[in-house]
Amino acid sequence: MHTYRLGFIGFGNVGKTLLALLESRRALLEQRYDMTFVTTGISTLRHGSAVDLDGIDPAKALAAGNLGELSAFSIPQDVFEFIRLSQADVIFESTPVDYFSGQPAVDYLKAALSAGKHAITANKGPVVHAYRELKTLAAENGVSFFFESAVMDGAPIFSLFRETLPAARLDSIQGVLNSTTNMILTRMEHGDSFERAVAYCQEIGIAETNPRGDIDGWDAAVKIAALVTVLMEFPLLPRDVNRQGIALLAPADIEMAKSQGKRWKLVCSAHRSGENVTARVAPEMVGMESHMFHAEGTTSIVRFETDVLGALTIIEKDPGRETTAYGMLADMLRALHRI
């Protein structure tokens, strides 16, 4: 049985849920894949860092206020030193997203791949800003760069095309990819004001204290840019997406749509035309004939049009932290060639 060393860069809700999920699947991984693991490093910005090559106690890590108290080494001065000291075979990266540069996650992933470590991220930023560079770097070092949880949490989108749709050409994408705006619009349909709907999303933890990234369409723009960049093989940055958010939608607009048997959705779309691809994020009224009509609350949905299969739709109903964590666990197994 092979033992793999794991390192975490970022240990917020996603990182903690991933570690708990890994522990809950330990016996299954041992039985089914003849593998086990130890967590040799955790690096955070606010709660310190820990490195122990014999393994950090998972329960203590999940409960720790200061991870530095669990370290068997002098606390690393920065993430790059942490990557070296942890001697991890797999690095999980889940730091906050930067829509406009992908940093510092891009540099963290570069360092991990250059050191011969599999790099798995839940971060959209590096995918749109450095996908080709990171993919090339992984190939040069004989490791993997995977990112299933970057869009629609752990729903199998990137792996679907990479592993089961060889030589298929993706011609268009259309869907609802931002769960926060979808929940805001659903709450407004039930009578909430825009402000109250935003506050509700903050209360349940799906919107940030400053929710502009969702409301203004930036999160959706990054997601559609990631899908275009990877699946349509056409490099696209968020600033290249024709973007409009939902801030201008008023209760009167919601009622108008309802009177017509329609609903407002923040629609992400991309279309191939010859050698070019254009992408858009904007509120649209959709009717019952649309695949997006019944996507309520935090449910996401995306439809792909390919040249060989026609329309293929994926629905992710009410995802949570476990969904994102599972995407990263599945990526780990893919990287280690166990599935």
Question: Is residue 73 located within the same domain as residue 190?
Answer: no
pLDDT value of residue 245: 97
Question: Is residue 110 located within the same domain as residue 170?
Answer: no
* Closest of 92, 96, 95, 97 to residue 117, by C-alpha: 92
Question: Is residue 171 located within the same domain as residue 130?
Answer: no
Question: Is residue 248 located within the same domain as residue 278?
Answer: yes
Question: Is residue 181 located within the same domain as residue 145?
Answer: no
Question: Is residue 172 located within the same domain as residue 303?
Answer: yes
Per-residue pLDDT band for 338 (boundaries 50, 70, 90) equals: low
- The CATH number for 252's domain is 3.30.360.10
The torsion defined by the Cα of 106, 107, 110 and 115, in degrees rounded to 10, comes to -150
- The rounded distance, in Å, linking the Cα atoms of 133 and 34 is 33
Question: Is residue 284 located within the same domain as residue 325?
Answer: no
pLDDT value of residue 25: 96
Strand, coil or helix: what is 253? Answer: helix
Question: Is residue 300 located within the same domain as residue 327?
Answer: no
pLDDT value of residue 4: 97
Question: Is residue 25 located within the same domain as residue 142?
Answer: yes
Per-residue pLDDT averaged across 289-316, rounded? 94
148-160 pLDDT tens trace: 999 998 899 999 9
- The rounded distance, in Å, linking the Cα atoms of 93 and 11 is 9
Per-residue pLDDT averaged across 12-33, rounded? 96
The boundaries of the domain holding residue 282 are 164-316
Q: Is residue 46 part of a domain?
A: yes
Per-residue pLDDT band for 67 (boundaries 50, 70, 90) equals: very high
Residue 302 has pLDDT above 80, yes or no: yes
Position with higher pLDDT, 74 vs 276: 276
Q: How many domains are contained in the chain?
A: 2
Per-residue pLDDT averaged across 91-111, rounded? 94
Per-residue pLDDT averaged across 164-189, rounded? 95
194-221 pLDDT tens trace: 999 999 999 998 888 889 999 999 999 9
Q: Is residue 286 part of a domain?
A: yes
Mean pLDDT of the chain: 94
Residue pair 189/309 in contact by the 8 Å Cβ criterion: no
Could you tell me which residues come within 8 angstroms of residue 235 by beta carbon, excluding any fewer than 6 positions away?
131, 132, 229
Strand, coil or helix: what is 211? Answer: coil
Q: Is residue 159 part of a domain?
A: no
Question: Is residue 109 located within the same domain as residue 198?
Answer: no
Question: Is residue 30 located within the same domain as residue 123?
Answer: yes
Starting from the edge strand earliest in sequence, which strands make up the sheet with 263-273, in order? 242-243, 276-286, 263-273, 170-176, 300-306, 310-316
Q: Is residue 328 part of a domain?
A: yes
pTM, two decimal places: 0.95
3-state SS, one letter per residue, for the chain: CEEEEEEEECCCHHHHHHHHHHHHCHHHHHHHHCEEEEEEEEECCCCCEEECCCCCCHHHHHHCCCHHHHCCCCCCCCHHHHHHHHCCCEEEECCCCCCCCCCCHHHHHHHHHHCCCEEEECCHHHHHHHHHHHHHHHHHCCCCEECHHHCCCCCCCHHHHHHHCCCCCEEEEEEECCHHHHHHHHHHHCCCCHHHHHHHHHHCCCCCCCCHHHHCCHHHHHHHHHHHHHHCCCCCCHHHCEECCCCCCCHHHHHHHHHCCCEEEEEEEEEEECCEEEEEEEEEEECCCCCCCCCCCCCEEEEEEECCCEEEEEEECCCCHHHHHHHHHHHHHHHCCCC
216-230 pLDDT tens trace: 999 999 999 999 999
pLDDT value of residue 310: 86
pLDDT value of residue 318: 84
Residue 339 has pLDDT above 80, yes or no: no
Residue 88 has pLDDT above 60, yes or no: yes
Residue 252 has pLDDT above 90, yes or no: yes
Question: Is residue 14 located within the same domain as residue 110?
Answer: yes
- The CATH number for 11's domain is 3.40.50.720
